[in-house]
Chains A and B, each alone.
Chain A
Amino acid sequence: MPEFRAVVHVMLRRSILDPQGRAVEGTLHRLGHAGVGDVRVGKRIELTLKGERDAVLAQLRQVAERVLSNPVMEDVELELHEIDGA
């Protein structure tokens, strides 16, 4: 059965204040990095899944959108890579 490595990127929605991003940006500015802007802090979650690609993608979407993120305040981006030789 094919095996996949998935990466789920979780970011606060644009409409939700990101105080961590704001704090990091302020620090970068204080350090003199004047051109830096729009800093946002999110998280990256890695997992492996087994199955056919379509089924795996559907499962990944479900996991990412219903458990790994909270759609009220977060958006997700997904990556799916087949693991060679699995």
Chain B
Amino acid sequence: MPHLAVLRFPGSNCDDDARHALERVTGADVRFVWHADSDLGGAGGVLVPGGFSYGDYLRSGALAAQSPVMHAVRAFAERGGPVLGICNGFQVLTEAGMLPGALARNEGLAFVCRTVTVEVQRDDHPLLAGLRRGQRLRLPVAHHDGRYVADDATLDALEAEGRVVLRYLPAADPDGNPNGAMRDIAGIVGGRGNVLGMMPHPERAAEALLGGEDGVPLLRAFARAAGVSA
């Protein structure tokens, strides 16, 4: 069975959390890959974790996107390998050009850490297998730069192609869009549907002890897409 890779940039800080949750939920063998490495060691799937890679200096994720390991991740994704970017990982993937758009400073200007409701928009992507369209998930967010932005043409194309996969639900909760993201976008897929970037943290919602398990199906779908029989 293939193993799962969790990238480690200087300044990543959800790397341990992601490994812990993946091991616990999927039973997978999870290994860290250092940012300076240029190969992924035969991993079946790559998780780009949250944190403040390179201090998020310049722009969140911008410096990490230039690191050697990202060449390997790009090539891996082009071969159809599953890549899941969470929070800073989502920022890295947009900065690396692997997902369209960008993550700008939260509209409220402050860091925001709380649990939000997101609605699953698609269930026909391998990285969302096992979730239902319309399903609502309670997931924690914790970010300063989570406002998804793109030009209208890009946004329209994302919608038309069904690549907006997770949306905040301001209708259900007046503070439901925590960062002012355009069209309430919380997560999108790119590539051939094998690259998922999302601001909420499924690895923080993977144990009832910590307040919820709504992140579990997302972690399981990622592991299965990577060939791990979770």
Chain A residues packing against B (C-beta within 8 Å): 12, 15-17, 19-20, 23, 67-68, 70, 72-73
Which A residues are in CB contact (< 8 Å) with B59?
A: 70
A11 to chain B, nearest CB (A): 13
| Number of interface residues, chain B, beta carbon within 8 A | 20
Q: Does B214 contact A (CB under 8 A)?
A: no
Q: Chain B 77-107, CB within 8 Å of chain A: the 1/0 string?
A: 0000000000000000011000011101111
* Interchain residue pairs with CB less than 8 A apart (17): A12-B104, A15-B151, A17-B104, A17-B149, A17-B180, A19-B107, A19-B108, A19-B109, A20-B109, A67-B58, A68-B58, A70-B59, A70-B95, A72-B94, A72-B150, A73-B104, A73-B149
Closest Cβ of chain B to A43, distance in Å, is 9
- Closest chain-A Cβ to B25's Cβ sits at a distance in Å of 33
Contact yes or no, A67 B107, CB < 8 A: no
Determine whether B62 belongs to the interface, using a CB cutoff of 8 Å to chain A: yes
Q: A70-B95, A72-B151 are in contact. List 18 more A-B contacts (CB 8 A).
A: A12-B104, A15-B151, A17-B104, A17-B107, A17-B147, A19-B109, A20-B105, A20-B109, A23-B109, A67-B62, A67-B66, A70-B59, A70-B62, A72-B102, A72-B149, A72-B150, A73-B104, A73-B149
Contacts of A67 in B (CB 8 A): 58, 62, 66
A39 CA to B169 CA, complexed, in Å = 31
Task: Give the Cβ gap from A12 to chain B, nearest Cβ, in Å.
Answer: 7
B150 — which chain A residues lie within 8 A by C-beta? Answer: 72
Proximity bits, B53-88, A CB within 8 Å = 1, else 0: 000001100100010000000000000000000000
Interchain nearest-CB distance for A72 vs B (Å): 4
Q: Which residue of A lies closest to B58 (CB)?
A: A68
- Which of B62, B95, B105 lies in contact with A19, CB distance below 8 A? B105
Asked if residues B102 and A70 are in contact (CB atoms below 8 Å), the reply is: yes
- Expressed in whole angstroms, the Cα–Cα distance for A6 and B108 within the complex equals 33
The 8 residue pairs across chains A and B that have the minimum distance between CB atoms? A72-B102, A73-B102, A19-B107, A19-B109, A70-B102, A16-B149, A73-B149, A73-B104
Task: State in angstroms the CA–CA spacing of A6 and B112 once bound together.
Answer: 36
Closest chain-A Cβ to B155's Cβ sits at a distance in Å of 11
Q: Could you tell me the distance in whole angstroms from the C-beta of B171 to the nearest C-beta in chain A?
A: 21
Given A15-B151, A67-B62, A67-B66, answer yes or no on A72-B101 (Cβ-Cβ < 8 Å).
yes
Residues of B within 8 Å of A15, CB to CB, are 151
CA distance A52 to B78 in the complex (A): 38
Give the chain A neighbours of B104 by CB distance below 8 A. Answer: 12, 16-17, 73
